Amino acid sequence: MSHDIVTPLLSNAIKAGTILLLPTIGEIFSERAGILNLGVEGMMLIGAFFGFIVAKLTNNPYYGIIAGMAAGGIASLIHAFVCITLKGNQIVSGLALTIFGAGFTTFYGQSWINMNLSNPLKGLALPVLSKIPLIGPVLFNQDLIVYLSYLLTIILWIILYKTTIGLNLRAVGENAKAANSMGISVSKTRYFWTFFGGLMAGAGGAYLTVAYAPFWLDGITAGRGWIAVALVIFAMWDPIKAIFGAYLFGSINALQFQLQASGTSIPSAILNMMPYLVTFIVIVISSIIVKTKHIRPPKELGIPYFREEK
Amino acid sequence: MFYFEKRKQISLKLKIAIPLISLLIGFIVGSVAILITGTNPLLVYKELFLNAFGSWYAFSETLVAATPLILISAGLIIVFKMSVWNIGAFGQYIMGAIFSSYFAIFLDPSIPKPLMLSIMIAASLIGGAVWALIPTLLKIFWEVNEVITTLLLNYVSLYILKFLMYGPWKNPTSYGFPLSKTFPDSAQLPILFGGYRLTIAFIFALLTILIVWFLLKKTRFGYEVRVIGDNPTAAKYAGINVNKNIIIAMAISGALAGLAGMSQVSGIIHFLQVKINADYGYASIIVAWISYLDPFLTLLASILFGGLSSGGYSIQISMRVSYGIVGLIESIVLFSLVGAQIFLNYKIRWKKHES
């Protein structure tokens, strides 16, 4: 392949990967705190919907991103309330959140279907960095959200492993009782990081409709939320590894579109299936690695914490 | 501050009240959602109710929608009882439809109807079971999380269906529409009463409820399922083969979802297409949950949600209220139920702050 095909392909891979990276790191932190949220797909849909509408109405893509984040965050609070305050089953509550997101956006999205954004998120080439051969145009000729996602991932990695906040967070997910006796509020920690997960899922959804595919379609996230949940296992609950997972899947997405556009003889249904099938295979492989390396999910993931219980 | 105290006994009153209150909350939140769009929610609900239960035809359509829900959730209650999470009924339903459609499309249409239908039913059971067993075996051998794998396979099966419909199985005379050729009469499930769409699949669904009840309450398998559900580690020590039971339960659950798919294409649509209402797979999770994983309550909940679904389609056409309202109400019901479960097992006690 020549240069002028590779660069846009990789550049698109980063964009498609960002849609996944944001929800994946959000879910990593939620799971680290012990809350499994299978509502990522629903929160992304809600984020995508509000992101699109606000960007459309204000003609400002950044407002769209903020609105999408806020909407995802609010949606996550339903899950937090059911799972943390009421100690409900996290798997079922998460599924309910996904069904809610799909129902909500179908219900209110009807009149917005096939509308376009006239002012989608634009690129900001970073001076000097974007001139680096090969890497420059791919990594540093992107939009603001992509740059922020680089920064955020690194900051979150530092928070998780190098700060007291991260220590407390991990303690809550590993052994809530011990964390509580150390004076950490299990509920507050879990609420905060579940909310954070919602913000990130909403941001990923909004990035999809404000930058990547600036229009509204019913069910536009098309299972990306589930891929994000799967990527958490691939990343082994580590934000830096999530970058590689997300961009790998971004590449598959970008490649699939490139092939489709170039009029390949591979049927489009097979191309569209690729991200899910590859995720499936990757999850099987990484589960085996996780098992043999004795890496495991946060110990109390999915288990409600009763403070007064013996 | 409040704290939770474990109840010694689960009260029957709460067991009845909680699903009812959850439904009420679902409809209240739903009416707020409808109100925002400037429509009168009471009119919508009245229309929904009349289109679900208002006439014999409406009721028969509710039972048509309830049939796949009964079949799928009957299987799900077995696996959910073991805390194994089959979220893949959507895909297993599609695979059941695809496997059975193969024979409807390619087998000699003149073979006797009972033979054709038996082959199709067997194929759908196998298709659904195979699709459920892939994630099950991966879970058992390598601890691969079944929630994620069953879910991802939903998308894979959807694209297999799309591939077939846009490619090899497309009817050349369908003017480019992604449909298979219409099933011959021998491949169509017989209807129960003339003028209605309800088929013999509804009878199968009722029988399934009886069989699952019998399996769970009267057999060793059912006993083992309960023990595993209570405590898998203890079950292992008690000499129960946990893995074997998980495989059997998932195979049954997948097979029933497959049969539900077959009942839809063979009994209702009469050809294979991309839209075959696989969403019943997700709705069945709610049905199983709202009925406390009890087979007879599952029947009741399926009819209720069948009504919500068939009424939902009707109001979409007659009142231009998006079908999304059904998912919205269903999800709120589910949230309320999951949240309220705590009141079943715990009493809320208040205590003053100690400083």
> A215: which DSSP letter?
B
Q: Mean pLDDT across the stretch B227-235?
A: 87
Of A107, A223, A283, the CB nearest to B325: A107
CB contact under 8 A, A86 and B342: yes
CB contact under 8 A, B156 and A109: no
To the nearest 10 degrees (0 to 180), the angle between helices B242-264 and B201-218 is 170
What span, in angstroms and rounded, lies between the C-alpha atoms of A220 and A211?
13
Percent with pLDDT over 70 in chain A: 98
Choose the mutation target among A79, A82, A90, A107 for the interface with B, i.e. most B CBs under 10 Å.
Answer: A107
What pTM, to 2 d.p., does this model score? Answer: 0.92
When pLDDT is cut at 50, 70 and 90, the band that residue A71 belongs to is very high
CB contact under 8 A, B148 and A307: no
CB neighbourhood size of B220 (10 A): 10
Predicted pLDDT of residue A3: 56
Arithmetic mean of pLDDT over chain A: 90
Q: Does B2 touch chain A (CB under 8 A)?
A: no
What span, in angstroms and rounded, lies between the C-alpha atoms of B184 and B105?
8
CB contact under 8 A, B324 and A107: yes
Predicted pLDDT of residue B247: 96
Predicted pLDDT of residue B214: 96
Of B85, B151, B332, the CB nearest to A226: B151
Predicted pLDDT of residue B119: 96
Q: Which residues, other chains included, contact A62 with Cβ-Cβ below 8 Å and sequence gap of 6+?
A: A121, A144
pLDDT in tens, B37-83: 888 999 999 999 999 999 999 999 999 999 999 999 999 999 999 98
Find the closest chain A residue to B338 by CA distance.
A88
CA of B272 vs chain A CAs: smallest distance (Å): 16
Find the closest chain A residue to B148 by CA distance.
A230
pLDDT > 50? residue B346: yes
Q: Tell me which range, A27-31, B228-232, B273-277, B325-329, is most confidently predicted by mean pLDDT.
A: A27-31
Arithmetic mean of pLDDT over chain B: 91
Q: Which of A39-43, A164-168, B338-342 is the least confident region? A: B338-342
Predicted pLDDT of residue A61: 95
Which comes out higher in pLDDT, residue A292 or A116? A116
When pLDDT is cut at 50, 70 and 90, the band that residue B1 belongs to is low
When pLDDT is cut at 50, 70 and 90, the band that residue A6 belongs to is confident
pLDDT > 70? residue B286: yes
How many beta-carbon contacts under 8 Å exist across A and B?
Answer: 150
Q: How many CA atoms lie within 13 A of B138 on its CB side?
A: 23
Find the closest chain B residue to A94 by CA distance.
B335
Give Cα separations from A104 to A71, A97, A248, B329 (angstroms).
12, 10, 31, 9
Of A96, A230, A272, the CB nearest to B338: A96
Predicted pLDDT of residue A261: 82
What span, in angstroms and rounded, lies between the C-alpha atoms of B50 and A174?
52
Q: Does A93 touch chain B (CB under 8 A)?
A: yes
Of B144, B148, B153, the CB nearest to A229: B148
When pLDDT is cut at 50, 70 and 90, the band that residue B347 belongs to is confident
Q: Does A52 touch chain B (CB under 8 A)?
A: no
Q: Are A76 and A37 in contact (CB under 8 A)?
A: yes
| CB < 8 Å from B in window 213-272 of A | 223, 226-227, 229-230, 233, 267-270, 272
Question: What single-letter amino acid sits at B3?
Answer: Y
Of B4, B162, B322, the CB nearest to A106: B322
Predicted pLDDT of residue A310: 40
pLDDT in tens, A141-159: 888 999 999 999 999 999 9
Q: Are B52 and B343 in contact (CB under 8 A)?
A: no
Q: Does B319 touch chain A (CB under 8 A)?
A: no
pLDDT in tens, B247-268: 999 999 999 999 999 999 999 9
Predicted pLDDT of residue A195: 98
To the nearest 10 degrees (0 to 180), the angle between helices A239-261 and A268-292 is 160
What span, in angstroms and rounded, lies between the C-alpha atoms of B188 and B206?
20
Question: What single-letter amino acid sits at A167?
Answer: L
What span, in angstroms and rounded, lies between the C-alpha atoms of A192 and A35?
11
Q: Which residues, other chains included, contact A158 with Cβ-Cβ below 8 Å and sequence gap of 6+?
A: none
pLDDT in tens, A174-196: 888 888 888 889 999 999 999 99
Q: Give the CATH architecture of domain A3-119+129-309.
A: Orthogonal Bundle (1.10)
Closest by Cα among B186, B187, B190 to B99: B187
Q: Which residues of A touch B131 (CB under 8 A)?
A: none
What span, in angstroms and rounded, lies between the C-alpha atoms of B353 and B3?
12
Q: Does B200 touch chain A (CB under 8 A)?
A: no
Q: Which residues of A touch B331 (CB under 8 A)?
A: 96-97, 99-100, 103
Q: Mean pLDDT across the stretch B135-147?
A: 93
CB contact under 8 A, B155 and A223: yes
Of A96, A226, A287, the CB nearest to B334: A96
Predicted pLDDT of residue A110: 87
Closest by Cα among A244, A192, A191 to A83: A191
When pLDDT is cut at 50, 70 and 90, the band that residue B355 belongs to is very low
Closest by Cα among A79, A47, A84, A32 to A300: A32
ipTM of the complex: 0.89
| CB < 8 Å from A in window 231-260 of B | none
Q: Does A100 touch chain B (CB under 8 A)?
A: yes
Percent with pLDDT over 70 in chain B: 98
CA of A88 vs chain B CAs: smallest distance (Å): 5
What span, in angstroms and rounded, lies between the C-alpha atoms of B355 and B348?
21
Q: Which residues of A touch B153 (CB under 8 A)?
A: 280
Question: What single-letter amino acid sits at B89?
Answer: A
Predicted pLDDT of residue B85: 92
Predicted pLDDT of residue A202: 98
Q: What is the DSSP string of A76-144?
A: HHHHHIIIIIS---HHHHHHHHHHHHHHHHHHHHGGGTT-B-SS----EEPTTGGGSTTHHHHHSEE-H
Give Cα separations from A143 to A9, A65, A202, A254 (angstroms).
16, 12, 18, 17
CA of B155 vs chain A CAs: smallest distance (Å): 7
